[in-house]
Amino acid sequence: AQSVTQLGSHVSVSEGALVLLRCNYSSSVPPYLFWYVQYPNQGLQLLLKYTSAATLVKGINGFEAEFKKSETSFHLTKPSAHMSDAAEYFCAVSGLTGANNLFFGTGTRLTVIP
């Protein structure tokens, strides 16, 4: 079975500071991992995905994530936060078995302080 845990439902950073959003996964098969961003009253937009190629994945808007199998982690980072990064971020996992069902974490709301 697949699942993800996002540590910290709320994260606040100052503009220009490092953004670190944590995600740990559980999967009985080699996982595919995704990060999505959601702005208020909108759907989810894909930031990046890990599909067993490079362990360091670069996404849109300057975000990247590193797959660490030994730590079962897929943390999302950005070197310098912008005000426009304020949103809710979801980590998700799917496996090789069955349909392309995603299992989502409960989300982390990022606040950027000017």
Partner 1 sequence: DGGITQSPKYLFRKEGQNVTLSCEQNLNHDAMYWYRQDPGQGLRLIYYSQIVNDFQKGDIAEGYSVSREKKESFPLTVTSAQKNPTAFYLCASSQGYGNQPQHFGDGTRLSIL
**Residue count at the site for partner 1 (CB under 8 A)?**
25
Judged by CB under 8 A, the stretch of 18-26, 35-43, 54-62, 68-76 that binds partner 1 is 35-43
Identify which of residues 105 and 110 has a Cβ nearer to partner 1 in the complex.
105
Task: List residues bridging with 83 in a β-sheet.
Answer: none
CA-closest candidate to residue 48, choices 5, 94, 7, 91: 91
**Does residue 107 interact with partner 1 by CB under 8 A?**
yes
Q: Could you tell me the maximum CA-CA distance found in the chain, to the nearest angstrom?
A: 45
Identify which of residues 24 and 94 has a Cβ nearer to partner 1 in the complex.
94
d(CA 79, CA 70): 24
Cα dist. 73→3, 27, 55, 66, 81 in Å?
Answer: 12, 11, 11, 8, 21
**Does residue 9 interact with partner 1 by CB under 8 A?**
yes
d(CA 36, CA 41): 14
Judged by CB under 8 A, the stretch of 12-20, 32-40, 60-68, 74-82 that binds partner 1 is 32-40
Strands 10-14 and 3-7: unpaired
**Does residue 106 interact with partner 1 by CB under 8 A?**
yes
**Does residue 83 interact with partner 1 by CB under 8 A?**
no
Summarize as ranges the residues that interact with partner 1 (CB under 8 A): 9, 32, 34, 36, 41-46, 49, 51-52, 90, 94-96, 99-102, 104-107
